[in-house]
């Protein structure tokens, strides 16, 4: 009977007490804070500065302001959409009650379920508030201990992240890769372009461990392999990172990939070593040596920026200077194919028994748990 309104879930009944979302909200699951009044005030200040006649006189400063205001406006738009949708759901519920219409009521309940998912996505958006979270990023994978097994594992990881990027609608561009001797890849660097690419991928940095029966072992023994992943943000021109020519060693070589007439015939690939830090970057994607050098310099700026950020967090020695062997003791996630199937994040405790689903790019449960600050019980 419609009069009982059994189809109205408790969460929806509670939400209908007020369709006015609070201007300041704290998400209990993560502690994320959304302050609409504060954001609106800051956007108004930035808009006023951007409307000044001399705004573009200092282009770096102008870009910095735009980089700040765009994500704030994005948050305001997302909040406005949530508010409008909740008001529509409330109106539908009232209409269903007045018309004694079960079908309309259930339709509203279904829409409310979608709204709750959007609210969870909005919570993640409020957590992506670090200076470079909105940026695109460079993703580098290195094979570690395990020889051919590790090289194959590195290629499997690359495929997994490529699939995840496809799900997110991100664009991936290969910049440099080195094949393994027999299979897989020794290393690869790709550029992931899309809004908040770095924010989502920054916590994927670390060692990924694979346990499986080796397809390269005729005895069918179980092997353990490792690969490291690094993610660095694409740094905007508004951020000043001093790089002196005397601190650089630039090498050119023939690209090893597929391509046109220049590839494998002309030294278009570029490798840059930053002598003071020891950071090495390379790019072989473009047909032009100049373009490859420009992209390699962008990668170098990104890595040097990340090093400085890590130093501020007292993590530089562990993550860069003393990064450690790519092996036991430095793991963030374990992927077990045999004797059982399980993917487990060693930081949050989040796990999945559907390993094929994870390898096909379903990384959101792991990524979201880290963003929300969930830690494994010790």
Question: Are 266 and 158 spatial neighbours (Cβ–Cβ below 8 Å)?
Answer: no
Report pLDDT for 264: 54
User: Which pair of structure tokens corresponds to residue 166?
Assistant: 């496809």
State how far the Cα of 253 lies from the Cα of 264, in Å rounded to an integer. Answer: 9
141 burial (CB, 10 Å; 0-12 / 13-18 / 19+) is buried
This prediction's pTM? 0.76
| Angle separating helix axes 102-127 and 364-371, nearest 10 degrees | 60
- What gap in Å lies between CA 365 and CA 358, rounded to an integer? 10
Give CA separation, 378 vs 126, 328, 347, 348, 356, in Å: 28, 19, 10, 10, 28
Question: Cis (ω within 30 of 0) for the bond into 339?
Answer: yes
Confidence (pLDDT) at 267: 83
Phi, psi torsion values for 370, nearest 5 degrees = -70, -40
95 vs 162: CA distance, rounded Å: 46
Using CA atoms, how far apart are residues 372 and 20, in angstroms rounded to an integer?
25
Residues 96/3, Cβ–Cβ less than 8 Å: no
3-state secondary structure of 25: strand
* Strand ranges in the chain using DSSP code E only, listed in sequence order: 24-26, 33-35, 137-143, 171-179, 185-193, 206-213, 222-233, 248-253, 269-274, 279-283, 331-336, 342-345, 351-352
Confidence at residue 29, expressed as pLDDT on a 0 to 100 scale = 64
Q: Which helix (H) or strand (E) holds 205?
A: none
What is the Cα–Cα distance from 41 to 26, expressed in whole angstroms?
A: 19
Contacts with 247 (C-beta within 8 Å, 6 or more apart), sequence order = 274, 275, 276
Q: What is the pLDDT of residue 367?
A: 95
* Cα–Cα distance measured from residue 342 to residue 339, given in angstroms and rounded to the nearest whole number: 10
Task: Please report the pLDDT score of residue 272 as a whole number.
Answer: 95
Name the one residue in this structure whose structure tokens are 């179980």. Answer: 222
- Cβ-count burial 77-99 (b if 16+ within 10 Å, e if not): ebbeebeebbeebbebbeebbee
Which residues contact residue 159 at a Cβ distance below 8 angstroms, ignoring those fewer than 6 apart? 359
Domains of the chain, earliest start first: 2-127 (1.20.58.410), 137-235+326-371 (3.30.70.1660), 245-312 (3.30.160.20)
CA–CA gap between residue 173 and residue 158 (Å, rounded): 12
pLDDT at residue 45, rounded to an integer: 92
User: CA 292, CA 49: separation in Å to the nearest integer?
Assistant: 36
Closest CA to 203 of 352, 3, 22, 371: 371
Take residue 83 and report the two structure tokens written for it. 């508010």
Give the number of C-alpha atoms closer than 13 A to the C-alpha of residue 323, restricted to the C-beta side: 18
* Pairing, β 171-179 against β 222-233: unpaired
CA 249 from centroid of its chain's CA atoms: 31
Return per-residue pLDDT of the chain as tens, 378 residues: 344 455 444 344 434 444 555 666 667 666 677 788 888 999 999 999 999 999 888 887 887 788 788 888 888 998 899 989 999 998 998 898 888 888 898 999 899 999 988 988 888 888 888 878 988 999 999 999 778 999 999 999 999 999 999 999 999 999 999 998 889 999 999 999 998 999 999 999 999 999 999 888 878 788 899 999 999 999 876 677 889 999 999 999 987 654 444 445 678 999 999 999 999 999 998 889 999 999 999 999 999 988 888 777 654 445 544 445 565 557 899 999 988 999 999 999 999 999 999 999 999 999 999 998 865 553
| Residues paired with residue 354 on neighbouring β-strands, in sequence order | none
Q: State the pLDDT at residue 375.
A: 56
Taking the CA atoms of residue 368, residue 371, residue 372 and residue 375 in that order, the dihedral angle to the nearest 10 degrees is: 100
Judged by DSSP in three states, 198 sits in helix
């Amino acid at each position: 009977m419609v009069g009982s309104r059994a189809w109205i879930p408790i969460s929806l009944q509670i939400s209908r007490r007020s369709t006015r979302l609070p201007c300041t909200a704290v998400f209990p699951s993560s502690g994320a804070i959304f302050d609409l009044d504060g954001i609106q005030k800051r956007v108004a200040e930035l808009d006023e500065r951007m409307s000044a006649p001399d705004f573009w006189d200092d282009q770096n400063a102008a870009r910095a302001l735009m980089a700040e205001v765009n994500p704030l406006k994005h948050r305001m738009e997302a909040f406005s959409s949530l508010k409008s949708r909740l008001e529509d759901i409330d109106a539908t519920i009232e209409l269903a009650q007045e018309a004694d219409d079960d079908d309309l009521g259930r339709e509203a309940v279904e829409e409310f379920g979608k709204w709750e998912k959007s609210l969870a996505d909005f919570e993640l958006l409020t957590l992506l508030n670090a200076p470079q979270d909105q940026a695109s990023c460079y993703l580098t994978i290195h094979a570690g201990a395990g020889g051919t097994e590790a090289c194959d594992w590195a290629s499997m990881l690359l495929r997994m992240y490529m699939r995840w990027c496809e799900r997110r609608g991100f664009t991936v561009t290969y910049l440099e890769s080195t094949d393994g001797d027999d299979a897989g890849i020794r290393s690869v660097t790709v550029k992931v372009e899309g809004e908040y690419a770095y924010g989502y991928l920054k916590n994927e940095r670390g060692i990924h461990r694979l346990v499986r029966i080796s397809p390269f072992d005729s005895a069918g023994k179980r092997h353990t392999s490792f690969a490291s992943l690094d993610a660095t943000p694409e740094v905007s021109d508004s951020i000043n990172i001093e790089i002196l020519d005397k601190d650089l060693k630039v090498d050119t070589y023939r690209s090893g990939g597929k391509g046109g007439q220049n590839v494998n015939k002309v030294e278009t690939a570029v490798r840059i070593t930053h002598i003071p830090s020891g950071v090495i970057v390379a790019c072989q994607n473009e047909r032009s040596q100049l373009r490859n050098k420009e992209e390699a310099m962008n990668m170098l700026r990104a890595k040097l920026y990340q090093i400085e950020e890590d130093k501020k967090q007292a993590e530089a020695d562990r993550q860069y200077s003393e990064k450690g062997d790519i092996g036991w003791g430095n793991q963030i996630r374990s992927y077990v194919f045999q004797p059982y199937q399980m993917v487990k994040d060693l930081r949050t405790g989040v796990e999945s028994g559907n390993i094929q689903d994870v390898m096909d790019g379903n990384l959101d449960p792991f990524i979201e748990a880290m963003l929300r600050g969930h830690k494994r019980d010790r």
